[in-house]
Structure 1
Amino acid sequence: MKKQIFNKAGLFALLFGAMATMNSCSKDLPEAEADPTPSALVAVHNFALLVPSNLTVMLNNANLSVLGAPASIAYGGNLSGPYAGVKPGATTIGLRTLTGTTDLVSKSATLNASSATSVFAYDTLTPAGTIKAIALNNNMTASAAGTANLRFLNLSPTSAVLSAVLTRTADGFGVATTGSTTFGNVAYVGSTTPNEATLSNFTNIPVGTYSLALVSGTTNVFTTTLTIREGKAYSLVARGYAAGRPGTTAAQALGASLIMHNP
């Protein structure tokens, strides 16, 4: 029978060399870095009337770039994305025309990391060259199963008070059902100093298909159909001029926009 002979000195030398190699490699590894601070998310929606061009966005006096070009938001539109990621902290958000050198409106807001904020431009451009804006917090927490979150904003400057009546005609699976939700007698946001914390609040409603009626007094002044999806957060916006204003174009007429904040 053959015997295997171990050279202890050689074995120790081999182990020492392996340990030295491991220590040398570990020194070459970069040290772990702290996670970067999450961005704050900002969306901008344009419901300002009679502005002569699309709106662009200034963040702390620097033009916001989208896909390599200055942000350009048409009436009724918003940033593509729908959010832009910005550095958290005290932020000045200015809105101006694409070729303008001064803001039509400016909002100061403290944007927290990972927060989501929607800025709504609204009202009619004044002779002095100003519009209005509100900055609302979007709670991105998913709603309970079978439901969604929705808020109603009256941004129609010639509609002093509107009610939004949502009549449910089908559930989330398309099965016929009944039920309704009413946002009653909601004043035009610009009629007083807006309470942005209150306006930010959502109402939880069942998902499904709804018939929407905007009601002034007892008269339906606009109707359409909406689809509300599970777990989503929406702003339902009344926009444009009520009937009867001279010179109103079809694009400026009273209507409604449904904005999803967590696509």
Structure 2
Amino acid sequence: MGLRDRGIEIKKPEQIAAMRRAGLVVGGALEVLRAAVRPGVSTAELDGIAEDHIRSAGATPSFLGYHGFPGSICASVNDEVVHGIPGERVLAEGDVVSLDCGAIVDGWHGDAAVTVAVGAVPAEVTELMRVTEEALWHGIAAARLGGRVTDISHAVEKHVRSHAGHGRSFGILEDYVGHGIGSAMHQPPNVPNYGAAGRGPKLVQGLALAVEPMVTLGSPDVEVLDDDWTVVTADGSWAAHFEHTFTLTPDGAWVLTALDGGETQLAALGVPFGGR
């Protein structure tokens, strides 16, 4: 069965170019949000900042109204892993907030996320954030044309597991995964953050994926709050979430939601850059 027969969307170059435009809007919005995070700011204020940025760039927020979601971003604080609803919560010194953002340009989506410290946070939380973000880049770096989706999954898990031990535990969420992306925000195939390499659909030119490790300082078990959106850790441990949308070209990986296309991070990992 071919990729298209499994509902996997293969984009034309001009469609990838539209996704890059959407990705630049998302990347820019996350930079603006990162700069706006401080003690005393509410998650609703961050949501307004993101929506203003997205609309002023001529794009549309992907999240707003998606299955009824009421915000333009997801803002998840401390033990909230993903899908936090922006609202009256005010950030305090020592919090961490995961900001997930999506934008649509000409019908094509970009999706990315960062976790940001609010002032000084404990060393173990800084390490959690560092390892999770590095795992994202190791996952993207493992992708090659002709490879398989779980090459990404295996690289993410391997990096996270390699930093556990010595009294430190990291949990990798299994029920929430990365995904295909294109003319819709969530498409097949799923991109798990764990598992053996060499499985799943083949990585081909025109396929775009959102890779998004979600890692906790404790158990990977999670619960959904009564708002039917916010995912929290079952044990109250804090979490980090990083995400980028990327594609593969004959020259290498091209991270559509990174402002530099991922060139700096990929070069640091010795991986060819496929942007243009």
Q: TM-score range by the shorter chain?
A: 0.3 to 0.5
The two structures have a TM-score, normalised by structure 2, of 0.32
Structure holding more strand per residue: 1
Larger RCO (CA within 8 A; separation ≥ 6):
2
Greater Rg, structure 1 or structure 2? Answer: 1
The TM-score with structure 1 as length reference comes to 0.34
